[in-house]
Amino acid sequence: MKPVPADQPKVWGLLAEFANPADLKEAAEAIRNAGYTRWDAHTPFPVHGLDHAMGIKPTRLPYVVLAAALTGAVGGLLMQWWMNAIDYPIIISGKPFNSLPADIPVTFELTVLLASLTAFVGMLIANALPRFHHPLFASAPFRRVTTDAFFLAIEAEDPRFDLAETKTLLLGARATRVFPVEG
């Protein structure tokens, strides 16, 4: 990033709008190929193929969820075994204290509970949400991103960022308009 003169407001980045998801995807490929790293696409709904165009690596969330599911299963079994067979054995219909079949429903429910909570909370943590302030929120046109607008945002922090060059690149990638975002 090149130094910004002191009399100009600090630029957070450039925001480019695209007419449709297909143009956005092509532009994303162009930006990725140009070697940018700190940038993102913003869309009203998940656009198929955009992950690939942007070169996003698959999230590791499924492994975290698997670990949580195993924890729920093992924890559930151990809890029931310890409570009903070790710490306070209760005789029920003459069945063995450690009766595995009867422990299955609760084990299953705890597996699902822990895995689901991890999927939900893990998604939020990985996405750094909730985040109630974002420079993009100050941009009036950006409000349409949750309705029907397709945007590409490149941060000024990106080592390849240059106000003029990046703008030319985005316009060349069929952006309908490109404007700076302060922040």
Partner 1 sequence: MGVATIGRVSRDNTSTDPKVRAPLVLPGNDYASITDKVCSIVETPRPPKAWYVAFCIAASLTGVLGAVVVYLITTGVGVWGLNKPISWGFDITNFVFWVGIGHAGTLISAILYLFRQKWRTGINRFAEAMTIFAVICALLFPGIHVGRIWLEYWIAPLPNQMSMWPNFRSPLLWDFFAVGTYFTVSLCFWYMGLIPDLATVRDRAQGKVRQIAYGILALGWTGSNRHWHRYERAYLLLAALATPLVLSVHSIVSFDFATSMLPGWHATIFPPYFVAGAIFGGFAMVLLLAVPCRQWFGLKDVITPRHLENMCKIVLATGMMVGYAYAIEFFIAWYSGNPTEGFVFINRAFGPYAWAYWTMVFCNVATPQVFWSRRARSNPWIIFGVALCVNVGMWFERFVIIVTTLSRDFLPSSWNSYTPTWVEIATLAGSFGLFFTLFLLFLRFLPMVAMAEVKAIMPAPHDPVRR
> What does the H/E/C string look like for the chain?
CCCCCCCCCCEEEEEEEECCHHHHHHHHHHHHHCCCCCEEEECCCCCCCHHHHHCCCCCCHHHHHHHHHHHHHHHHHHHHHHHHHHHCCCCCCCCCCCCHHHHHHHHHHHHHHHHHHHHHHHHHHHCCCCCCCCHHHHCCHHHHHHCCCEEEEEECCCCCCCHHHHHHHHHHCCCCEEEEEEC
For residues 4 and 83, which CB has a smaller minimum distance to partner 1 in the complex? 83
Binding mask 5-44 toward partner 1 (x if CB under 8 A, else -) reads --------------xxxxx----------------xxxxx
For position 164 contacting partner 1 by CB under 8 A, the verdict is no
Q: Which of 4, 8, 127, 182 binds partner 1 (CB under 8 A)?
A: 127
Site for partner 1 in 56-85 (CB under 8 A): 56, 58-59, 61-62, 65, 79-80, 83-84
Q: Which residues bind partner 1 (CB under 8 A)?
A: 19-23, 40-47, 50-51, 54, 56, 58-59, 61-62, 65, 79-80, 83-84, 87-88, 90, 92, 95, 99, 102-103, 105-106, 108-110, 112-113, 115-117, 119-120, 122-124, 126-127, 129-134, 136-137, 143-148, 151
